[in-house]
Amino acid sequence: MYIYNVTSNIDDTIHEQWLVWIKAHIPQVLSTGKFTTATLTRVLVEEEMGGVTYSVQYRAASREALDEYFRDHAEVLRSDAVKRFGDKVLSFRTELQIVDEYTVNFKE
């Protein structure tokens, strides 16, 4: 399993507009069929540069699915954010490979 993480710092002046946009954008990314789930989180740090920071984590079942996303879809989907928000959104992307997952099962 792989995680494609996109962390973005959003300028305060477009925060609400971006949040509406990202909630519509995530289903578009999932509709490519290359990811199984996505999680939108707010990063709980106060940035020196200001703004609000979010992370979107997309889970892919295979490296091949992730590579196909980059090859066939990423450029078009990324360009939409650039056109809409320009330099008011600063993003960086990280690819992660899940090594192990652990859960806690509480007995009632």
pLDDT digits (tens, 9 = 90+) for 58-95: 999 999 999 999 999 999 988 888 899 999 999 999 99
Residue 32 lies in a domain: yes
- The answer to whether position 104 is within a domain reads no
pLDDT band at 47 (very low <50, low <70, confident <90, very high): confident
| Residue among 101, 72, 103, 102 nearest 3 (CA) | 101
In a domain, 102, yes or no: no
pTM of the predicted structure, to 2 decimals: 0.89
Is 81 inside a domain boundary? yes
- Residue 108 falls inside a structural domain: no
Interior/surface letters 26-62, b for 16+ CB within 10 angstroms, e for the rest: beebeebebbeebeeeeeeeeeeeebbbbebbbbbee
Domains contained in the chain, number: 1
What is the residue range of 31's domain? Answer: 2-97
**Residue 67 is part of a domain; what is its CATH number?**
3.30.70.100
- Other Cβ atoms less than 10 A from the Cβ of 89: the count is 20
Domain assignment of residue 106, yes or no: no
Site of tokens 């540069």: 49
